[in-house]
Structure 1
Amino acid sequence: MLIERAYVDRSEEAVARTGDRWPWTVPCVRRLAEDGLKFGAPVTFLVGENGSGKSTLAEALAEGFGLDSYGGSAGYKYASSRTPSELGCAIRFDPTAAGRRMVRGPRTRRRGFFLRAETAWDALARERLSGAPEMMSHGEGFLMAFREKFRQPGLYVLDEPEAALSFTSCLELVGVLAELSRGGAQIICATHSPLLTALPGAEIVEVGEHGMRSVAWEELGLVDHWRRYLTDPRAYLRHIIG
């Protein structure tokens, strides 16, 4: 692991104390500003409904570490029109011994990758991978990035990586994340996937109106809904289609 805790720098957080404008009004951001976010495992999943703030949180953590919020590798800046967010600029980290040189050293020492579903295709095409992303499906391009870019210790922030992946490809991603974490990397992943969040040993943080809280996989609402839906789809669909 590289970081033990993320928090908001109080010297840059006057707006957070007032709580009168976005993103400081988002419950999970407000909780981050008040208490910080501790990381107890090499892999942390952020889970919540659309609009809960999990992607906002993931993007800010990536920016705070020096990853371009557009997506891509640490130190690889090509989205020059995109400025860091107010939250991203205020994020600070308590590093582990292994992560101290990256977190407290110059930007060039930082290693990692930020993958977001909305811009992943363009980000992959701009980086020099051995294949040609334009000749692949979205899922194939994602997996190529996982295999080629997710190799060395660093911070890897993923925002809904399952968006372009099949069931089998998601299983492959679980294997990549497990291998990466064993090699000293740290992963933070915002997701809706009950498959990804089942990774053994991972920490799951559920975000919502309550702010943030650690939960077990079996306690996740999305796991319960998927289990019940696959058991009896009609119990759900009758309320949707009559």
Structure 2
Amino acid sequence: MLIHRAHVPVHLQPKDLSKWPFTVAGVRQLISDGLEFMAPITFLVGENGSGKSTLIEAVAGALKLDSHGGQAGGKYAPARPNTELGEILRLDASVEGMREFMGRRQARRGFFLRAETAFSMMNSFSRVPGYWSADTATMSHGEGFMAVFNEMFKRPGIYLMDEPESALSFVSTLELASLLQTLADTGAQVICATHSPILTAIPGSEVLEIDEHGFRSMPWEDLSLVGKRRRYLDNPARFLGVRAGDQDRRQA
């Protein structure tokens, strides 16, 4: 494990927790208790607004990765301020982790995929030495994502990902799952925010479910995102009928 804990030291903890992102339950728990990484692959799951992306971006900020996304040691857009949580977050790392992330910026190994800026970042680095040879501007979003993943996910380091499955088909998501498992087997560490039951099923990974109470480790089969999809696939017509009925009642 390169990083085994994220925490906010007592002397850096904010006095005022009444403003975002400190109003988010998962962020408050991180500040009060810290977050332990127990497996080479850690998934953060939860509904929109639960704080998954906020936590991922804070870890990126603590690692001094470009908040726009991209490879450790590289930048493609004007720098923007670190997030408030990223400024105060600290990471406990192994000896190897310290060697990877505390040395020269150009020598650091890792990658950050940020959902909102991913496509722009990919086009900026296409055919740049040290990145990927494919011209992602000529590809669909899904093809571009997989071209980047296949080129960049090849060596140990830390990989932070915010909903990497968003542009992928079922088959491509399976391919990404295989890439992540291979990375973990070679000594890399992955921290990923996702809505994908496919990715979260990777053997040996830890899944932290985030809700209004904070975050907790959950078995894959007990995840809300797994149960809801199962119920939908078992009876789509009934599920959609219930949702439509709820909407009609709200509009009445």
- TM-score, structure 2 as length reference: 0.91
Partners in 2 of 1:121 and 1:78 — Cα distance?
Answer: 12
Which residue of structure 1 aligns with residue 3 of structure 2?
3
Structure 2 unaligned runs (5+)? 246-252
Give matches, 1:190-201, under 5 Å.
Answer: 190-201=193-204
Alpha-carbon deviation of 1:75? 1.4
Which residue of structure 1 aligns with residue 17 of structure 2?
19
Give matches, 1:71-86, under 5 Å.
Answer: 71-86=69-84
Alpha-carbon deviation of 1:28? 0.5
Q: Tell whether the 8 Å contact from 2:74 to 2:106 is kept in structure 1 after alignment.
A: no
Which of 110, 115, 118 lines up with 2:116 in the alignment? 118
Alpha-carbon deviation of 1:8? 1.4
Partners in 2 of 1:11 and 1:158 — Cα distance?
Answer: 29
Give matches, 1:113-152, under 5 Å.
Answer: 113-127=111-125, 128=128, 129-152=132-155
Which residue of structure 2 aligns with residue 66 of structure 1?
64
Q: Tell whether the 8 Å contact from 1:101 to 1:109 is kept in structure 2 after alignment.
A: no
Q: Tell whether the 8 Å contact from 2:65 to 2:112 is kept in structure 1 after alignment.
A: yes
- One-letter identity of the residue aligned with 1:4: H
- One-letter identity of the residue aligned with 2:137: E
Which residue of structure 1 aligns with residue 169 of structure 2?
166
Q: Tell whether the 8 Å contact from 2:209 to 2:217 is kept in structure 1 after alignment.
A: yes
Task: Report the 3-state secondary structure (helix = DSSP H, G, I; strand = E; otherwise coil) of the residue aligned with 1:114.
Answer: strand
Task: Report the 3-state secondary structure (helix = DSSP H, G, I; strand = E; otherwise coil) of the residue aligned with 1:153.
Answer: coil
Task: Report the 3-state secondary structure (helix = DSSP H, G, I; strand = E; otherwise coil) of the residue aligned with 1:57.
Answer: helix
Partners in 2 of 1:196 and 1:180 — Cα distance?
Answer: 14
What percentage of residue pairs aligned between the two structures are identical? 54
- One-letter identity of the residue aligned with 1:32: L
Q: Does 1:209 align with 2:215?
A: no
Task: Report the 3-state secondary structure (helix = DSSP H, G, I; strand = E; otherwise coil) of the residue aligned with 1:108.
Answer: helix
Q: Tell whether the 8 Å contact from 2:7 to 2:35 is kept in structure 1 after alignment.
A: yes
Cα pair distance change 1:109/1:12, threshold 3 Å? farther
- One-letter identity of the residue aligned with 1:70: H
Structure 1 unaligned runs (5+)? none
Give matches, 1:219-230, under 5 Å.
Answer: 219-230=222-233
Deviations 1:155-212 (A, max 9, x none): 1001001100000000000010001111111000000011110000000001111111
Q: Tell whether the 8 Å contact from 2:76 to 2:121 is kept in structure 1 after alignment.
A: no
Partners in 2 of 1:95 and 1:140 — Cα distance?
Answer: 34
Cα pair distance change 1:51/1:88, threshold 3 Å? same
When Rg is computed on C-alpha atoms for both structures, the one with the higher figure is: 2
Which residue of structure 1 aligns with residue 96 of structure 2?
98
Partners in 2 of 1:126 and 1:151 — Cα distance?
Answer: 20
Deviations 1:93-126 (A, max 9, x none): 1112321212443433421111122211111111
Q: Tell whether the 8 Å contact from 2:113 to 2:161 is kept in structure 1 after alignment.
A: yes
Alpha-carbon deviation of 1:81? 4.3
Cα pair distance change 1:126/1:9, threshold 3 Å? farther
- One-letter identity of the residue aligned with 1:25: T
Task: Report the 3-state secondary structure (helix = DSSP H, G, I; strand = E; otherwise coil) of the residue aligned with 1:18.
Answer: coil
Partners in 2 of 1:55 and 1:172 — Cα distance?
Answer: 23
Partners in 2 of 1:61 and 1:110 — Cα distance?
Answer: 15
Partners in 2 of 1:188 and 1:95 — Cα distance?
Answer: 14
Partners in 2 of 1:192 and 1:141 — Cα distance?
Answer: 20
Task: Report the 3-state secondary structure (helix = DSSP H, G, I; strand = E; otherwise coil) of the residue aligned with 2:95.
Answer: coil
